[in-house]
Amino acid sequence: MQNRNRILVAGALFGTLALFSPANADSNISDVDMSQLMAYIAQMNRPSHTYSGQLAVGMELPAQGMTYYDIPAEYKARDTQYTVVNGRPVLVDAQSHKVVRMAQ
């Protein structure tokens, strides 16, 4: 049972660290800050919005119909907000709502 729990914890940690890939690194957040930010977003447990289109870095999400949340200053994510779309955390530019990073 202990080995099973260790495997589950290791899998959850790996998933958290890999959730936001450097390939999506158009934002100004370091990868270390990203893992901490992901833990914060998970803790907030925000509702997910349904979006029928395909999500991609660089696309603009609608200003209406989605809720965008501020990111606390300690994560050093200037001019960036987050939302949850189709169950995936998505980081967006605070002004344009263009996707700058998203969960894989």
Q: State the total domains in the chain.
A: 1
Percentage with pLDDT > 70 across the chain: 68
23-41: average pLDDT: 70
Distance CA 94, CA 98 (A): 8
Query: Which structural domain, as residue segments, surrounds residue 61?
Result: 2-102
Q: Is 32 left (phi over 0), alpha (psi -120 to 50) or beta?
A: alpha
Determine if the pTM surpasses 0.85: no
| pLDDT higher than 80, residue 85 | yes
Q: Please give the Cα distance from 88 to 86 (Å, whole number).
A: 6
